[in-house]
Structure 1
Amino acid sequence: MENTMTYLGIDIGGTKVALRAENGTRSQETVFPWPSPESTAHDDLAALATQVHALLAATPGPVTSVGIAMPATVDGAGRVTTWPNRPSWTGLDLRGALHPLFPGSEVAWADDGDLAALAEADAAGCRNLVYLGVGTGIGGGMVVDGRPCPGPDRGSCEVGHMIVDSTGPRCDCGRRGCAQAIASGPATLRRAARLRGTTTTFADLGQGLRDDEPWAVAAVQESCAALAVVVVNLNELTHPSLALIGGGFADGLPGFTDRVAAAATALSRPGHRLAPVRAAALGGLSSLRGALLLARGTHSGYGVPG
């Protein structure tokens, strides 16, 4: 008998949204950019509704459940407390906003970093790991005994806001020395530009690494050293079996994960096992894959009853 269960995963980002509907062996997928950064939450939700309806028009049967990966901070009541990339969403009743989009469907959401970690754990067949996603920010999470830690009822695992240098550069959150302020893509490119003495693009940085240019190596090495501190600290707390480095920025730079691994090894304690540090498997698909796991009930998050 043909599977009539349709699951919808939505990965909401700061600049774009990815959607994927799965029904048995069939799937439909689309990616669309948000309206301008100055758009209102109402505009964003209208654009989301248009794309959802277009995708589902080509999908057989009603949607059984929806999983949403969210970069915003959402409290237990379903209200957005902060989202720097889309400030108009702050204060939005997410629960109330989503219900009209998916009448009759179970809807759940969770932090995009937590879901990315869950998806990477699923892909790796590993029940205990830490995942760092390096891009515009530093995302990621921990999976302990097959479940995200600390869990949706206690908030997300904000690995990017672990302080690795209390006298370091100021983060967007207002504190100094967060891993994100040192090791994110924009932070690394700013450092590279200072060391090089001119504007530096991602392509410039990648070529500089391939050519072993001192400015490129130094800029990336500082980021990898900060990420290694995060990996080692999480290793001391949770003793994972694996540490994965992903995200578009890390994936696109030669030798990035190897540098993190070497820096973490240098910080390890004799007699204490350090989790192997490897490249993540899913690239930019990790949060979307995690959203689908959420829709399928593999992980529980906050939700809207059907």
Structure 2
Amino acid sequence: MPGGSGRDHVGVLGVDIGGTKVALRAEEFAAGPAEGAHAGEVRVATGAGVRAYERVLTWPGGGVEADVAALADAVGALRAESGLRFAAVGVAMPGTTGPTGRVVVWPGRPSWAGLPFDETLRGLFPGSRTAWADDGDLAALAEARHVGAQDVVYLGVGTGVGGGVVLGGRPLPAPGRGSPEVGHLVVDVDGPRCDCGRHGCLQAVASGPATLRRAGAARGGEVGFAELRDGLEQDRPWAHDAVRPAGTALAAAVVSLGELLDPAVAVLGGGFAAGLPGFVDLVGREVIRLARPGRPAPAVRAAALGGLSSLHGAVALARDLAAPR
């Protein structure tokens, strides 16, 4: 047990399921004594009266059964390391579930189609309240709460492009009515084919993999994220040629959302966007260029929570679940 008290520690858990990795964050309800980092993958952080434990799992491959088993192992290790009993668990995920809680579509993890997601969560977290929501919705909620803004659109750029909308301090649309699929806004009707089967979706142009493919074509060989980042820092033309279309496509989406919803702020997050130097500024400049006279576009800001917006949103969902009713 942390601190060696032997008492039952109670907390909440947030889980952010992505295309290539899963991030987990457990938070204890009561503040504990300050501690340094634990050995291994788990680190302990204290701040604002909250002790938090985090772990990152890279998907092992091998299909849904191997994925769920690896997730169970990571949860078990985090539970043992933290000594926490989870009163509630919130999960951020980009897949689409049906009315029975079964996964219908998950382009990034096709082997999960048909998985009874609700039942799987109950098996992973017996005795805990569980809920899940779209990762973009939860990222938008976390960012809006973090900065105290009432009207926010969020775009998260990573393996795909997710997003969410908060108006009047509440996610739009209401819970249980689906999610704003920002990544599937059509920004180029003659553009590349998206994972969904359509052409020209924002995700097909601006996601990390789409940008890396353009970088590879421009450079004449496969390009990884670190090479793209270095290319931007070194002002290589091939790197700018690869990134510019992503920035323009995201700006088009921001301007369109501004016309429809009139939010004050557009937050740009996700691990891919957060790691590219100058990327948020590029999108901001393109938004200004595309805005029409008399209709100011939303101000573009980098995610205050960096690439962890969805994870913090999952924790917020868990805390809302655990709150006294």
Distance 1:201 1:97, change over 3 A: closer
Task: Tell me, in whole angstroms, the C-alpha distance in 2 between the residues paired with 1:296 and 1:174.
Answer: 37
How far off is 1:146 after superposition? 1.4
Task: Tell me, in whole angstroms, the C-alpha distance in 1 between the residues paired with 2:59 and 2:146.
Answer: 29
Q: Which residue identity does 1:281 align to in structure 2?
A: A
Aligned to 1:256: 279
TM-score (norm 1): 0.90
Does residue 135 of the first structure (1) align with residue 158 of the second (2)?
yes
How far off is 1:161 after superposition? 0.8
Deviations 1:82-135 (A, max 9, x none): 112322211111112221222222111001111111111122211211111111
**4+ residue segments displaced more than 6 Å:** none
1:284 is matched with which residue: 307, 313, 319?
307
Aligned to 1:34: 59
1:244 is matched with which residue: 239, 250, 267?
267
Does residue 175 of the first structure (1) align with residue 198 of the second (2)?
yes
Task: Tell me, in whole angstroms, the C-alpha distance in 1 between the residues paired with 2:205 and 2:84.
Answer: 47
Structure 1 contact 250–256 (Cα < 8 Å) conserved: yes
Q: Which moved more, 1:222-231 or 1:147-156?
A: 147-156
Task: Tell me, in whole angstroms, the C-alpha distance in 2 between the residues paired with 1:9 and 1:56.
Answer: 12
Aligned to 1:75: 98
Task: Tell me, in whole angstroms, the C-alpha distance in 1 between the residues paired with 2:18 and 2:245.
Answer: 27
Does residue 226 of the first structure (1) align with residue 231 of the second (2)?
no
How far off is 1:284 after superposition? 2.0
Task: Tell me, in whole angstroms, the C-alpha distance in 2 between the residues paired with 1:34 and 1:219.
Answer: 27
Q: Which residue identity does 2:168 align to in structure 1?
A: D
* Secondary structure of the corresponding residue to residue 210 of structure 2: helix
Deviations 1:252-277 (A, max 9, x none): 22211111111111111211122111
Matches within 5 A, 1:66-105: 66-105=89-128
TM-score (norm 2): 0.85
Deviations 1:172-220 (A, max 9, x none): 1110000111111121122222223333332332233233333322221
Matches within 5 A, 1:109-148: 109-148=132-171
Structure 1 contact 73–83 (Cα < 8 Å) conserved: yes
Structure 1 contact 137–180 (Cα < 8 Å) conserved: yes
Distance 1:195 1:101, change over 3 A: closer
* Secondary structure of the corresponding residue to residue 72 of structure 2: helix
2:17 is matched with which residue: 12, 16, 19?
12
Task: Tell me, in whole angstroms, the C-alpha distance in 1 between the residues paired with 2:84 and 2:224.
Answer: 46
* Secondary structure of the corresponding residue to residue 21 of structure 1: strand
Distance 1:3 1:131, change over 3 A: farther
Structure 1: which 5+ residue stretches go unaligned? 301-306
Task: Tell me, in whole angstroms, the C-alpha distance in 2 between the residues paired with 1:157 and 1:67.
Answer: 19
Q: Which residue identity does 2:245 align to in structure 1?
A: E
Task: Tell me, in whole angstroms, the C-alpha distance in 2 between the residues paired with 1:216 and 1:44.
Answer: 34
Aligned to 1:21: 26
Structure 2 contact 129–321 (Cα < 8 Å) conserved: no
Q: Which residue identity does 1:27 align to in structure 2?
A: A
* Secondary structure of the corresponding residue to residue 320 of structure 2: coil
How far off is 1:61 after superposition? 5.4
Q: Which residue identity does 2:315 align to in structure 1?
A: L
Task: Tell me, in whole angstroms, the C-alpha distance in 2 between the residues paired with 1:171 and 1:98.
Answer: 29
Q: Which residue identity does 2:176 align to in structure 1?
A: D
Structure 1 contact 76–153 (Cα < 8 Å) conserved: no
Question: How many equivalent pairs are there?
Answer: 297
How far off is 1:5 after superposition? 4.4
Q: Which residue identity does 1:150 align to in structure 2?
A: P
Q: Which has the higher contact order (CA 8 A, sep 6+)?
A: 1
| RMSD of equivalent CA atoms | 2.2
1:107 is matched with which residue: 116, 130, 151?
130
Q: Which moved more, 1:269-278 or 1:3-12?
A: 3-12
Deviations 1:274-303 (A, max 9, x none): 211111111221111010000011799xxx
Structure 2: which 5+ residue stretches go unaligned? 1-6, 32-50
Structure 2 contact 20–159 (Cα < 8 Å) conserved: no
* Secondary structure of the corresponding residue to residue 118 of structure 2: helix
Q: Which residue identity does 1:110 align to in structure 2?
A: A
Task: Tell me, in whole angstroms, the C-alpha distance in 2 between the residues paired with 1:205 and 1:81.
Answer: 34
Task: Tell me, in whole angstroms, the C-alpha distance in 2 between the residues paired with 1:128 and 1:261.
Answer: 18
Aligned to 1:65: 88
Sequence identity percentage: 57
